[in-house]
Amino acid sequence: MAVPEMERQWINKFQENLSIIRKVAGWTTQELADELGVARQTVSNLETGRSPMSKLQYLALRTVFNAEIARSENRDLAKVIKTLVDDPLEGVTAQKQHMADSTEVEGRSGAVAPTGDRVDMRTAASSSALSTAMQVLTVVTGALASGAAAGALAFFMFPDGTSGKR
23 found inside a domain: yes
Domain count, the chain: 1
CA distance 79 to 145: 6
- Give the model confidence (pLDDT) of 53-107 as tens digits: 999 999 999 999 999 999 999 999 999 999 999 888 776 555 555 555 555 444 4
pTM of the model: 0.58
Please name which of 76, 100, 110, 89 lies closest in space to residue 6, comparing C-alpha atoms: 89
- Give the model confidence (pLDDT) of 32-55 as tens digits: 999 999 999 999 999 999 999 999
22 found inside a domain: yes
97 found inside a domain: no
76 found inside a domain: yes
Rounded (10°) CA dihedral 36, 42, 45, 49: -50
Question: Which structural domain, as residue segments, surrounds residue 74?
Answer: 5-89+130-157
Please name which of 86, 78, 77, 84 lies closest in space to residue 25, comparing C-alpha atoms: 77
95 found inside a domain: no
123 found inside a domain: no
Judged against a pLDDT cut of 90, whether residue 160 lies above it is answered with no
82 found inside a domain: yes
14 found inside a domain: yes
